[in-house]
Copies of this chain bind each other. A is one copy, B any other.
């Protein structure tokens, strides 16, 4: 910039004004500055600019579960689009469902002075952000609400979505409906289980704890789900499955396939899968709307950076039932089912 000023024979502030498109510069000078900038191939250093200007960096941080997973990346894309419309760049990182890593990532982004932070939480204690929040950090939680901290949040309607899934299975004639989900200490998992219970009780069906598996976790949730599905099918006789998370759905499908039960046992999964419509049968799901969650979260964030100081709010994004075949299977004839189960038992 100094070189540009020298070449255009003007002062630094004048160059600055031209670069920022301020109209209070004589056209002649502005032209001189512009041609000098072009000649020198000058590009302003946004980093330096932001140091002085309003203290804003025009960057936001995004802590995802994993940039490579479809739900996260759809959310990421929506955030990118909203941010780009404001010329704000986004740092994204993967917390890997690891509370410690979530914390490191979030604090690293804070140290880089992002104007705001969107976090898809892994941890169940966000009080480590209380100081930053007090110091003015704008903070929005997505997919799951914050815990031990008050802040804006955008979440799916987990209870209602799960309820709808189970009611859909009940409407197809199922009574013995298994639940496969993540540990209940995770808020979304707990909500989905609540929806399951609600649908059963509304329909006068008693909850059978033997049909419930809520402790699926670990580095390979899909595999845990596959095992759990095999074991449920071999001795507890559900005619339908409600799988409360996408990797769990995948594990369950694998198990059903291996057992040859995929056209006999009904399945509704929470969260959509890529290519779900091309499987046989197509996988009926309760689709979340990660793009809507991301867009809304980012809009809320910008409202805050724009100065909105109203109390924190939680937005709920509706889910949508997409029937594709697997959820419309009716309870099979007992004889055939019985045969299939014997096979299942043999191969466990």
Contacts and interface: CB of A to CB of B under 8 A. Distances in A.
For A66, A89, A108, A257, the residue with the greatest tally of chain B CB atoms inside 10 Å of its CB is A89
A90 interface: yes
Interface string A38-60: 00010111111011000001010
A167 interface: no
A80 B67 contact: yes
A26 interface: no
B51 A80 contact: no
Interface residues of A, number: 50
How many subunits of this chain does the assembly comprise?
Answer: 2
B76 A113 contact: no
B94 A91 contact: no
A47 B275 contact: no
Interface in A10-65: 41, 43-48, 50-51, 57, 59
Interface string A70-87: 100110110010001001
The 5 closest A-B pairs by CB, nearest first: A68-B77, A73-B73, A68-B73, A274-B274, A41-B131
6 contacts: A67-B76, A68-B73, A70-B274, A77-B94, A80-B92, A250-B278
